[in-house]
Amino acid sequence: MTVQTRTTKVGFIGLGIMGRSMAAHILKAGYELHVYNRTRSKTDDLIAQGAISEESPGDLAAVCDVVITIVGYPADVEEVYLGLDGLLAHARPGAVLVDMTTSSPALARRIANEAADKGVAVLDAPVSGGDVGAREGKLAIMTGGDEAAFEAVKPLLATMGGTIVLMGGPGAGQHTKMANQIAIASTMMAVCESLAYAEATGVDPERLLGVIGTGAASSFLLNGLGPKIVARDFAPGFFVHHFVKDMSIALEEAERMKLDLPGLSLARELYQKLVDGGFDEEGTQALYRVYTGFTSRGTTG
């Protein structure tokens, strides 16, 4: 299938919607790719394309020079990296491990420190750009950790991303992603409240978006998700439950730093209502439901 043109052996753990597209780019770029996923069937496509299946994170770590992970929650990151059959216990000396999960900055620092003691580098490198960015290989990759390790894996990251930036030491990638999610949180309230107000007054919401979407109120979310809200299209681009996870991590970190972020707190509170209402598998634009008493008809995908 693919002609192997590179000597670096790459491992990939976490073949969800994002991970599958990202791993496929690595394979296409000519790397030998070893894959592991908790749900085994998700590796089938990649194995058909030439990837090699591994039995556990530890088995995968034992044969790879670089390992990429993108799993669900901080608890999953902790298990994959620090578990008995995890990456740190079996990584080769000199290996570079890259966690692309959106996860806790504090956990990223802890893992990087434990890894350094074993002569292994761990970078935190969460992404933005969603499933489309992953498919097109144009993710923004926000990296924290050792500079030499970053430079070593940059060509590999470049198969998946457009913007690839080292933001600082361990945890700085996660902090950057948190700052991104914090900006999104209150902007989503902005979009929903503006549209809820307009619709309540009887102003045509599409005409409204046409006017305010070109000026000071405009944003990627207003212009991108505003029309979906008007159409009551709540299908997920980014899941409510993932966003709640991200906001919760950001609030924990802010509390640790004694930083009060009332907009973020309010946004999480409103999104929690969505979760409680059973809408956690919808997209983040479903926040609009909170403003209409959850009565909006809507499609979920």
Quick one: 93 or 215, whose CB is closer to its own copies? 215
Query: Is 178 an interacting residue with respect to its own copies (CB under 8 A)?
Result: yes
Q: Is 240 within 8 Å of 281 (Cβ atoms)?
A: yes
Among 105, 126, 145, 161, binds its own copies (CB under 8 A): 105
Q: Is 177 a catalytic residue?
A: yes
175 interacts with its own copies by CB under 8 A: yes
In terms of CB distance, is 30 or 168 closer to its own copies?
168
Contact 46, 18 (CB under 8 A): no
With tokens 């809408």, the residue in question is 279
Indicate which single residue of 21, 103, 159, 176 sits in contact with its own copies (rule: CB under 8 A). 176
In degrees and rounded to multiples of 5, residue 15 shows phi and psi of: -105, 55
Q: Please identify, using beta-carbon distances, which residue of 156 and 267 lies nearer to its own copies.
A: 267
Of the candidate spans 75-83, 115-123, 153-161, 263-271, the one that interacts with its own copies by CB under 8 A turns out to be 263-271
The H-or-E segment that residue 85 falls in is none
SS3 237: coil
Closest distance of CB 261 from its own copies, Å: 5
Figure out which of the listed residues 193, 233, 252, 281 binds its own copies, where binding follows CB under 8 A: 193
Tell whether residue 217 is a contact of its own copies (CB under 8 A): yes
* Closest CB 173 distance from its own copies, rounded Å: 9
Per the rule left: phi > 0, alpha: psi between -120 and 50, beta: everything else, 53 is beta
Name the active-site residue from 9, 177, 228, 245: 177
Q: Is 287 helix (H, G, I), strand (E, B) or coil?
A: helix
Out of 38, 263, 272, 296, the only residue in the binding site for its own copies (CB under 8 A) is: 263
Residue 51's nearest CA partner among 64, 73, 35, 72 is: 35
CA angle in degrees (0–180, nearest 5) for 143-50-25: 30
Tell me which residue has tokens 């597209």: 21
- Cβ atoms of 64 and 57 closer than 8 Å: no
Contacting residue, 30, 72, 130, 227, with its own copies by CB under 8 A: 130
Pick the closest to residue 23 from 139, 123, 180, 170 (CA basis): 139
Question: In angstroms, what is the minimal distance from the CB of 123 to its own copies?
Answer: 15
At its nearest, how many Å lie between its own copies and the CB of residue 190?
Answer: 4
**Treating both helix axes as pointing N-terminal to C-terminal, what angle do 220-230 and 205-212 enclose, rounded to 10 degrees?**
170
CA 262, 268, 269, 274 torsion-angle sign: positive
Which has the closest alpha carbon to 171: 146, 149, 153?
146
151 binds its own copies (CB under 8 A): no
Helix axes 240-256, 105-117, angle to 10 degrees: 70
CB of 14 to its own copies, least distance (A): 21
Should residue 227 be labelled a site residue for its own copies when binding is judged by CB under 8 A?
Answer: no
**Which of 7, 257, 278, 295 is in the footprint of its own copies by CB under 8 A?**
257
Q: Return residues touching its own copies (CB under 8 A).
A: 105, 128-130, 140, 142, 163, 165, 167-168, 171-172, 175-176, 178-187, 189-191, 193-198, 200-204, 207-208, 210-212, 214-222, 224, 238, 250, 253-254, 257, 259-264, 266-267, 270, 291
Residues assigned a catalytic role = 177
